[in-house]
Structure 1
Amino acid sequence: MEFELIAIAAVLLVVAVSVLAPRVGVAAPLVLVVLGLGIASLPIVDSIAIPPELILGGILPPLLYSAAVNTPSMEFRRDFRLISLFSVVLVAVSAVVIGLLACALVPSLPLGIGIALGAIISPTDAVATAVIRQAGISQRIVTVIEGESMLNDATALVLLRSAVAAIGVSVTLWQVALDFLWAVAAAALIGYIVGRLNLAVRARVVPVTSSVTISLVVPFLAYIPAEELGASGLVAVVTAGLVTGYGSPRKLGAEERITERSLWRTIELLLESAVFLLVGLEAPALAEDLVEQGGGLGLALMVAVGATTVAILLRSLFVAGSVAWLARRNRRTPTVRKHLTEIQERLADGEVPQLGSPERSGRKERRVRRLVRAAEASARGGAARSEEARLGTWQRMVNQRLADLDYLAAEAFGWREGVVLVWAGMRGAVTVAAAQTLPSGTQHRSLLVLAAALVAVGTLLVQGGTLGWLAKRLGLTGHSLDSDPVLWAGLQRELNRAAMARLSGELDEYPPDLVEKARERLRLLTPVEDFRPDSPANQASMAKYRRLRLKLIAAQRDELMAIRDLGTYPSGMLDAALAQLDADQIGIELRSA
């Protein structure tokens, strides 16, 4: 009964904080951390120790899966280089530098253990991005931070495993590199297979509740096999989520996706809140454990402050270099756009670009070579079975590149975005859980675990508590292309044009008056009244009209998926358009039932 009461109280506390915190202008996760610290400090509360496998294997997989499913694949692809730089190179460099600092502060600490501490502290946390989203920052910054936090766990955990294994034995750099490559490659393959199987199976499961229930076990179906094979279970979960999120509009029905979205939002709220609450609850117990073993809280605090400072400085250097590189690339945008426009004009005349043209410079030739490789890859997937289809593939590739240029120019990173990228690199539950995986006989284990917890709590409270204020002072909140009315009108016109085209060629089986009603509805000329089922004839006519509407919605959804692949509209706007189509379809299907 005691456990049940605690669970009920925790859920009610989470709901209360999520409702009240925004009203006072404070991020709910920060309130939960403070509440956890306060509850754990009460005399009537026993010391709380959280098993690390509960967080790493029980809470993080569904959280990362939910985040990956909702990650805009278009923006993720566009900034994949930047995300990879932060999630691999920055984590590795930070782990080594923080390890050297820890050894300097604690002379008796072996270098391997110091690097293990660096690997624990280096990765930003996916759960911590809840604070970033609530700050109302631009979607591109959110995507970079979220993508980094989803992928950097593989780097950190491989480094942690290698550093611990290196204690007393020699481990070469090649061994660490091969371990990392296996962890990522095998996990990505497992996640891809699980994601595709998830879509294939659920597309054939008729009851919506049964299909949505399957989604609850998908994160663990990806995580467990990867971990058993020595790969990164978290990367497998992220890959499965990305595959599912990209393919679900084509494979799953509207009611199914809306039901799943609501369910996972509830799960995400509970699990995210639980993580922040657990971080606060466990911190006092870690401090007590360190004191009992003769350690000093001052030394743990010094290590935590030093490691946090170094992590922020290194992140600042990487972000500054990345912003400079992006600015240099953006300066080439007019030249690249001119070249792509020339290719587009030749494609309109039926001419496919060829390699080895003497008229092109080396840079232009490399650009064409990349387009050729992309077109050939698409052709191998079956997209180019004729000359006309080959031209269509090229046109899609060029249009996609042009849309990428427009997006990167509209959402360009400057020094203000760089400041937010630096300050948004908070640590969280992964840091606390990874620290507790250190073997029990590790030298200065209590010191390291407490230092990691202090880094996590400190960055959440200090950086998380000021991130919204900082973004607002820099003028980075409330400016989003997702709500641009001109772009929204253009997107709706393209969707309606696709539906009208299908009306012209594939709908001869429907009476002309129904087709005209549907055409008027698409043109938004007059509101279309639904038929009243007051006679068998009207019932039959209503059924036909609803089938016609569903076919038009299917045409619009197909066009929306094609537009998503091109990237000519913001992902948030595309999500809103998809939600609108889903709502229309559900309304029709419910009335039909």
Structure 2
Amino acid sequence: MEILIIAVAGLLVIAAGNQLAPRVGVASPLLLLALGAGVGFLPFVSAIELDPDIVLEVVLPPLLFSTAVSMPVMDFRRELRAVAALAVGLVAVSATIIGLVVHAVMPTIALPWAIALGAVLSPTDAVAITVARGSGVSQRIITILEGEGLFNDATALILLSSATAAGIAHSADALQPAALVSGFLTSLALALAIGWAVGEGSIRVRSRITNPTADTVVSFTIPFLASLPTDYLGGSGLVAAVVAGLVISFRRPRLLPPAHRQTAQQNWRTIELILEGGIFLFMGLQAYGIVQDVVDGGFGLRAAVLLAAGTGALAVLVRVAFVAPLLVWLRRVRRRHRQHLEEERQRLERFETRLEQARDIDDELLAKHGLSAEQWHQAVTGWRDRLERGQRRQRRRGADLDYFTADPLGPREGAVIVWAGMRGAVTLAAAQTLPLTTPNRPFLLLVALLVASGSLVIQGLTLGGVIRLVRPRMASRTADDAERERLLRLLGDAATSRHADALTPAEARELAIETIRVQRHALLDARDEGLFSSSSLEYALERLDAKEILLTTAE
């Protein structure tokens, strides 16, 4: 009964927090964090400690899966370089630098445990990005931040595991670069393989389910079907859940009926609201217990606060030093790609010219080479298919370059990427996985809590001011409207061959549904070539889905 009362109270607090947040001008995660901390410090509330396995194995897989399903795969593919650099390179660099500085400042913390703390503090939180999502910045920034938050947990947890093993063994052998790289690649390979297999298999199974509610129930199992076996085999279960989500995000518009997608999306939004709100609420509730452990152990609150402030500031400085050259490198890559695209265009033009000439070859020349007209026709058809594939690839690369050119990342955007990279509940959950025998464990937990909560509060509350100060490129409503008009014309062209002359109402309805499906295929083909922005594609897809649902539910 007590657990049920707590659960009901928690749900009501989460709902109230999300309702009140816009009115007080604070993001709901920050409000729930403050509410949790306030309740936790009440004298009649006992200390609360949430099992970290619940966060890492129960809460985070569906949360990250839901975020991945909602992420446009086209945008993620385009930002893969930036995401990989931040999720792997920045985490490794941050963990190492923070660990070295912590060990130098507090020699009583051995280097392996200092690096373990650095690994805990390094990754940003994909859930915490909800603070930045409503700020109006460009979709490129949101995609990079979300992608980083989805994948950097794997790097951090591998570093944490290796540092913990080194600390227990009193040896730094587990922190050798070769061992870390090998462990990371093995973990990533397992996650990619299992995540892809689960995503591809589950979407095919769901395509055969006729009941939208049953389909939604199956979707609830997917993040765990991906994460549990991956964790058991030694891979990153969180990354596996993310990969499964990305596969489903890409495949579901072609394979799942609109009613299934809409039902699943609505239910997943509710699940996401509960889990996201709960994780920040419990993060605040645990504050009292962690502080009390530090006081009881005589570790010193002042030292923890000072170390948290120093490491938090250091993490931001390292992020600045990493993001600045990263943006320069990305601009150089874009220039090289523009040059390669022009070279490829010229090669395709030469190939097309030779192909046109090949059509006019005479029978005498064919006989000289021992070829029949049928064989030559098959060869020309194969070359034509090859040319069309090359032209599609060139159109997609050209669309990618247009995407980068229309929304470049300069110093202003880099400042937002730096400041919006907040720590969150993953930091505290990862810190709580430290063994109970870890030296100064309560002290390290408090530092992790202070850095995570301080990052959320300070960066979250000031992000809007930073955006107004640096004035980055914002999402353009005018450009979106113009693109949507072009997209609607594309849909109109796809439907021009469908006529409804002299049809019964039932036949007209079936023809209308078939027309919508033809339009959807044209829309998804345009998506695969990157011809429109993800926001415009989503807008058009939602319109088509609404029309089809209306027609299929009509009497």
TM-score by length of 2: 0.91
Q: Distance in 1 between matches of 2:109 and 2:469?
A: 42
Rounded to whole Å, the distance in 1 between the matches of 2:384 and 2:512 is: 31
User: What is the CA distance between 1:560 and its match in structure 2?
Assistant: 1.0
- Identify which of 492, 497, 509 aligns with 1:546: 509
**For 2:125, what is the secondary structure of its paired residue?**
coil
Letter in 2 for 1:120: V
Who is 1:463 aligned against? 459
Cα RMSD after superposing both structures: 1.9
Match of 2:151 in 1: 151
Give the letter for the 1:183 counterpart. S
CA distance in 2, matches of 1:558, 1:202: 19
Distance in 1 of aligned mates of 2:293 and 2:242: 35
**Partner of residue 126, structure 1:** 126
In the TM superposition, residue 334 of structure 1 has moved relative to its aligned partner by: 6.2
Cα distance per residue 1:555-591 (max 9 Å; x no partner): 1111111111111211011111111111000000010
Q: Distance in 2 between matches of 1:333 and 1:342?
A: 14
Summarize the alignment of residues 329-478 of structure 1 with structure 2, pairs less than 5 Å apart.
329-330=333-334, 335=339, 338-339=342-343, 341-343=345-347, 345-346=349-350, 349=353, 351=355, 386-476=382-472
Task: Kindly indicate whether the alpha-carbon contact (under 8 Å) linking 1:300 and 1:451 is maintained by their aligned counterparts in 2.
Answer: yes
Name the CA distance, whole Å, in 1 between partners of 2:520 and 2:283.
42
Hey, what does 2:362 align to over in structure 1? none
For 2:527, the equivalent position in structure 1 comes to 564
Residue 227 (structure 1) aligned with residue 231 (structure 2)? yes
Tell me which of 231, 235, 243 is aligned to 1:239: 243
- Residue among 529, 538, 543 paired with 1:575: 538
The amino acid across from 2:264 in the alignment is E
The one of 469, 483, 491 equivalent to 1:495 is: 491
CA distance in 2, matches of 1:347, 1:451: 62
The residue number in structure 1 matching 2:106 is 106
Corresponding residue for residue 195 of structure 2: 191
C-alpha change, 1:99 and 1:241, in structure 2 (3 Å) is same
- Post-superposition offset of 1:388: 3.2
1:521 maps to which residue?
A: none
Matched, 1:37 2:28: no
Report the residue type matching 2:530 in the other structure: G
Mapped partners of 1:493, 1:464: distance in 2 = 41
AA partner of residue 109 (structure 1): I
Per-residue Cα deviation, 1:243-290 (whole angstroms, up to 9, x for no partner): 011000011000000111111111111111111111111112101101
Distance change in 2, residues 1:145/1:511 (3 Å): closer
Contact 2:198–2:225 (8 Å) recurs in 1:
yes
From 495, 501, 512, the equivalent of 2:501 is 512
Amino acid at match of 2:516: I
Unmatched tracts of structure 2, length 5 or more? 357-379
- 1:61/1:237 contact within 8 Å kept: yes
Cα pair 1:337 1:405 within 8 Å, conserved: no
Change (3 A) 1:16 1:348: farther
3-state SS of 1:500 partner: coil
Q: Contact 2:83–2:147 (CA<8 Å) still a contact in 1?
A: yes
Pairs within 5 Å for 1:63-82: 63-82=63-82
Q: Which range is displaced more, 265-274 or 171-180?
A: 171-180
Contact 2:355/2:384 (8 A) holds in 1: no
SS in 2 for 1:116: helix
Q: Any unmatched runs of 5+ in structure 1?
A: 353-383, 504-509, 515-540
Moved more, 111-120 or 319-328: 319-328
Contact 2:128 2:422 in 1 (8 A): yes
Name the aligned partner's letter for residue 245 of structure 2.
G
In the alignment, structure 1 residue 290 sits paired with structure 2 residue 253: no
Offset of residue 386 of structure 1 = 3.3
* Distance (whole Å) between structure 2 residues aligned to residue 498 and residue 273 of structure 1: 43
Any idea what the Cα deviations from partners look like across 1:150-203, whole Å, max 9, x if unmatched?
000000000110111112243232222111111000111000000011111101
Alpha-carbon distance between aligned partners in 2 of 1:97 and 1:351, rounded to the nearest angstrom: 58
- TM alignment of 1:208-287, pairs within 5 A: 208-287=212-291
Q: % of aligned pairs identical? A: 44
Distance 2:261 2:163 in 1: 43
SS of alignment partner, residue 166 of structure 1: helix
Partners of 1:143 and 1:201 lie apart in 2 by: 29
Partner of 2:322: 318
Asked if 1:587 corresponds to 2:550, the answer is yes
Q: Counterpart of 2:522 in structure 1: which amino acid?
A: E
Query: What is the correspondence of 1:56-95 to structure 2 with a 5 Å cutoff?
Result: 56-95=56-95
After superposition, the C-alpha distances for 1:102-154 in whole angstroms (9 at most, x for unaligned) are: 11222111111111111111000111011111222211100000000100000
Residues of 2 paired with 1:495 and 1:337: CA distance? 28
Partner of 1:49: 49
State the shift of 1:351 in Å: 4.9
Deviations along 1:378-403, one digit per CA (max 9) or x if unpaired, are: xxxxxx98333322211110000110
Compute the displacement of 1:227 (Å): 0.4
- Paired position in structure 1 for 2:366: none
For 2:262 and 2:353, how far apart are their aligned partners in 1? 43
CA shift in 2, pair 1:511/1:21, >3 Å: closer
Please tell me whether the aligned partners of residues 494 and 519 of structure 2 are also in contact (alpha carbons under 8 angstroms): yes
Q: 1:20, CA displacement in angstroms?
A: 2.0
Contact 2:500 2:511 in 1 (8 A): no
> 2:367 aligns to what?
none
> CA separation in 2, counterparts of 1:564 and 1:351?
29
Tell me what 2:117 maps to.
117
SS at match of 2:553: helix
Aligned partner of residue 6 in structure 1, secondary structure: helix
For each residue in 1:208-258, what CA deviation from the matched residue of structure 2 results, as whole angstroms up to 9, or x when unmatched? Answer: 111111000100010100000000000100000000110000110000001
Q: 1:511, 1:298 → 2: CA distance?
A: 77
How big is the shift at 1:341?
A: 4.7
Residue 83 to residue 478, structure 1, CA distance change in 2 (3 Å) = closer
Sort the Cα spacing of 1:349 and 1:589 in 2 relative to 1 into closer, same or farther, 3 A.
farther
How far is the alpha carbon of 1:435 from its aligned partner? 0.3
Question: Shift of residue 24 of structure 1?
Answer: 2.7
Distance (whole Å) between structure 2 residues aligned to residue 138 and residue 432 of structure 1: 29
Instruction: Write the deviation string for residues 46-91 of structure 1: whole angstroms up to 9, x where unpaired.
Output: 1111110111111100000000011111111111011100000110
In structure 1, what is the Cα distance between the partners aligned to 2:354 and 2:88? Answer: 43
Partner AA of 1:187 in structure 2? A
Q: Return the letter of the residue paired with 2:212.
A: V
Amino acid at match of 1:559: A
Asked whether the equivalents of residues 52 and 429 of structure 2 are also in contact (C-alpha less than 8 Å), the reply is yes
Structure 1 Cα separation of the partners of residues 544 and 460 of structure 2: 36
